[in-house]
């Protein structure tokens, strides 16, 4: 018994303290995606680098998650195997099965068709056509190994809320660019910019919209739509019309309780000192407080927290080709907007718009990757709000 305990302790020490050197890295199964693109996703792996064995295994698991999140492959595995060079060496084998790269989605009065990973280096081209959205989105995820570029041009339907919480439909006709650098596949820094002419839903000119800014982002989530673990953090600042600066912090964390039951939590703070009506923040709707709108949901400073309990209900496929997942969700939302920081400091009682409710989500996974959400939120006065959206949850 004592001998067994000593062996276990020595094994733990060996895995966590003594370094293992990477000897060779081999990529298998890639017929379309370039090998250097796959190796950039596994950027921690380099021949000659040393890691404790336990850390090496954790990195291998993380690389598997990144490969799945690209949605370029039907399957992906990363193996850490002993090397013939010696006991202190390991070889890394990355095995992928190339997937379906056409993309389809849509929403209210528009449809989208696109192609992902076009030339095997992470490029994406999406075309939107319809009544309230016409445009093109283009992305390059692996430009010169570490740089990326995201851009869109066209007419993109949106809306903002007036100070009386009245929803105003708008059309943003213009272009946006997000260019940056990836420190690794999880962490990036980018420069933002955009310009658009904003019209009403009847195409009456409203105002010019232009901004510049920067964003720092970390994303360790393991899934495209509904993460089982990991976290997301974004810190951004924008200058609107060269005169109205805003800032934003967005944090999300995910924990699995069981294999099919998990918790997701999100906290957001966004604000500006003095914003014109069309740029004011709101916590209304499917990505905010899912209850009946009230006046305190619109302002210059936005605070929001969402807590969700998510459970897988059904995982199935149609004809062995189209993979589907049904997910049930229970949620609590708390959020409020303020006109100034002083209002936050002087708020002596808990007077935040709150909602709780249930939802059903249908995820079309391989090969479509399309989320559909139906959610019902109830506020503190038992008024209810039904929301339907074709959008990814937080």
The model's pLDDT over 38-61, given as tens digits with 9 standing for 90+, comes to: 999 999 999 999 999 899 999 999
Look at residue 1 in the predicted model and tell me its pLDDT: 63
Least confident interval from 240-244, 333-337, 345-349, 390-394: 345-349
Rounded Cα–Cα distance for residues 76 and 94 (Å):
7
Rounded Cα–Cα distance for residues 124 and 150 (Å):
9
Segment 211-219 mean pLDDT = 96
Q: For 85-102, how does the pLDDT look when each residue is reduced to its tens digit (9 = 90+)?
A: 888 999 999 999 999 899
Look at residue 5 in the predicted model and tell me its pLDDT: 58
Q: For 106-165, how does the pLDDT look when each residue is reduced to its tens digit (9 = 90+)?
A: 777 788 899 999 999 999 999 999 888 899 999 998 777 789 999 999 998 776 555 555
Q: 368 pLDDT band (50/70/90 cuts)?
A: confident
Least confident interval from 21-25, 52-56, 366-370: 366-370
Integer CA distances (angstroms), 280 to 6, 29, 162, 222, in order: 63, 50, 8, 33
Q: Is the predicted pLDDT of residue 200 greater than 90, yes or no? A: no
Q: 16 pLDDT band (50/70/90 cuts)?
A: low
Q: For 384-393, how does the pLDDT look when each residue is reduced to its tens digit (9 = 90+)?
A: 999 998 888 9
Q: What phi-psi label fits residue 203: left (phi over 0), alpha (psi between -120 and 50 degrees) or beta? A: left
Rounded Cα–Cα distance for residues 339 and 290 (Å):
21
Look at residue 319 in the predicted model and tell me its pLDDT: 78
Comparing CA positions, the residue from 80, 8, 94 lying closest to residue 49 is 80
- Give the residue with greater pLDDT, 7 vs 386: 386
Rounded Cα–Cα distance for residues 224 and 234 (Å):
17
Instruction: Return phi, psi of residue 340, to 5°.
Output: -160, 165
Instruction: Return phi, psi of residue 128, to 5°.
Output: -110, 130
Long-range contacts of 143-146 (CB under 8 A, 24+ apart): 145/36, 145/40, 146/40, 146/181, 146/182, 146/183
| Residues 6+ positions from 288 with CB-CB distance below 8 Å | 282, 297, 304, 333, 335
Segment 367-371 mean pLDDT = 83
């Amino acid at each position: 018994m004592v001998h067994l305990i000593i062996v276990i302790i020595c094994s733990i020490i060996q895995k966590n303290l003594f370094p293992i050197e990477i000897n060779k890295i081999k990529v298998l199964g890639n017929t379309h995606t370039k090998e250097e693109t796959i190796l950039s996703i596994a950027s921690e792996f380099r021949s000659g680098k040393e890691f404790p064995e336990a850390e090496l295994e954790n990195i291998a698991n993380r690389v598997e998650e990144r490969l799945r999140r690209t949605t370029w492959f039907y399957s992906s595995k990363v193996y850490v195997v002993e090397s013939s060079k010696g006991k202190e060496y390991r070889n890394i084998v990355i095995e992928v099965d190339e997937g379906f790269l056409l993309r389809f989605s849509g929403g209210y009065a528009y449809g989208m068709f696109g192609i992902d990973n076009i030339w095997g280096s992470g490029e994406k081209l999406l075309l939107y056509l319809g009544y309230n959205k016409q445009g093109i989105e283009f992305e390059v995820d692996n430009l010169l190994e570490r740089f990326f570029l995201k851009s869109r041009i066209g007419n993109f339907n949106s809306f903002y809320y007036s100070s009386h919480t009245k929803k105003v439909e708008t059309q943003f006709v213009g272009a946006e660019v997000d260019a940056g650098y990836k420190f690794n596949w999880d962490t990036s820094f980018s420069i933002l910019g955009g310009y658009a002419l904003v019209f009403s839903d009847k195409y009456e000119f409203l105002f010019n919209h232009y901004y510049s800014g920067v964003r720092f982002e970390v994303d360790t989530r393991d899934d495209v739509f509904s993460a089982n673990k990991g976290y997301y953090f974004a810190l951004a600042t924008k200058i609107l019309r060269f005169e109205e600066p805003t800032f934003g912090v967005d944090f999300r964390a995910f924990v699995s309780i069981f294999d099919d039951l998990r918790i997701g939590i999100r906290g957001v703070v966004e604000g500006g000192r003095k914003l014109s009506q069309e740029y004011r923040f709101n916590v209304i709707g499917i990505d905010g407080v899912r209850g009946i709108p009230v006046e305190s949901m619109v302002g210059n400073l936005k605070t929001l927290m969402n807590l969700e309990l998510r459970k897988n209900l059904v995982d199935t496929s149609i004809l062995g080709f189209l993979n589907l997942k049904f997910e049930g969700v229970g949620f609590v939302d708390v959020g409020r907007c303020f006109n100034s920081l002083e209002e936050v400091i002087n708020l002596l009682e808990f007077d935040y718009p709150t909602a709780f409710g249930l939802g059903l989500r249908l995820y079309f996974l391989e090969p479509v990757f399309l989320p559909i959400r139906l959610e019902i939120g109830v506020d503190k006065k038992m008024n209810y709000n039904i929301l339907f959206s074709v959008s990814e949850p937080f």
